[in-house]
Homo-oligomer: A and B are copies of this chain.
């Protein structure tokens, strides 16, 4: 059977079949491949291990910048940020000079696979851990779409479902608890059990991965808990695809000191105050575990120092891996050029880039190491499908670079 034969949908130039069985895609937020390798070796994740041996497992590349919003939007649209329009949480609007937080779907510039399948009559549900993602992912979706964070608020009008706490059997979890993710998975399981969803997207939170490295108890427990839910979905007959929005790296020295380049401060010191504005696209109101520090920033020239001189100086700073002018960066990483900075700076594996120290509150780390993402090192992510692939998709997998946003294509088109 080929795409279209069963009345599939075409979204952003790619065809997707309607599901042959209940189909789940999990965005395992911040799931660096090392969590999987460690968990498999330590026997913590038997269901994922079974998928790795009996289904399909590979490492795919996330989109840049390796943040949650751009990658979740890519996964549900099957396309890079240049197509869907979301390349961060936080922007400088050049027209107004104002800094803008992205909290809804107003910048989303394409259709999603979820909305298209729902329009084709499929029962679609999307569950996110955090509410900030919910509106974006649910753009145009005539189905169920809610967040764990606001589960108690879900209404039929807004979310296509209500009484979520009753469905799951417990109350809305704390914003900073691992249960924010587990609640989303449990809600998904209940939707599968009650046949209210035939295509289900569940996007977790990376709160645990920001706090705990592979092998640490918090991470081990969480990964075991997630794996157990995946087992339950498999028991229910679902085809499960698992992917991540980004990896996760320590952004610190070997002795655990946060390693941060405060780029606005550094350039101001060299070229005079007010030469640039550095925007951290990871910034959002929930920065407790990373202090709005990631490994990718956009820089806007607002003073008289020439961009090229500032770029050269930025690239000189230890820990800065790559500086590119905005247009080149947009082209190379398929980001929407309209929102690019005059230049971008990417940190190396162990370095985060911030703006000025007063804009980053690291007290929320509570003594744990700064762990974050956003750079090139966090592009490799696990990519797995619980069933064996058909020949066409085995060929695709061996012939080109897999992206995390290929996952819906693989679970819907690649499994029979």
Q: A-side interface residues toward B, CB under 8 Å?
A: 34, 37, 59, 61, 254, 308, 315-316, 318-325, 327-328, 331-332, 334, 346, 348-350, 376-377, 379-380, 400-402
Contacts and interface: CB of A to CB of B under 8 A. Distances in A.
Given A321-B322, A349-B320, A376-B322, A401 B315 contact: no
Given A61-B331, A401-B332, A380 B318 contact: no
A61 B323 CA distance: 14
Count the copies.
2
B332 A379 contact: yes
Question: Which of the listed residues A315, A321, A325, A400 has the most CB atoms from chain B within 10 Å of its own CB?
Answer: A321
A331 B62 CA distance: 12
A194 to B, nearest CB: 40
A349 B331 contact: no
A327 B59 contact: yes
A324 B376 CA distance: 9
Given A348-B315, A349-B320, A332 B377 contact: no
15 contacts: A37-B308, A59-B328, A59-B331, A61-B331, A61-B332, A315-B350, A320-B348, A321-B321, A321-B322, A321-B346, A322-B348, A322-B377, A324-B380, A325-B380, A348-B348
A401 B322 contact: no
Given A321-B321, A348-B320, A315 B59 contact: no
A105 to B, nearest CB: 24
A34 B379 CA distance: 29
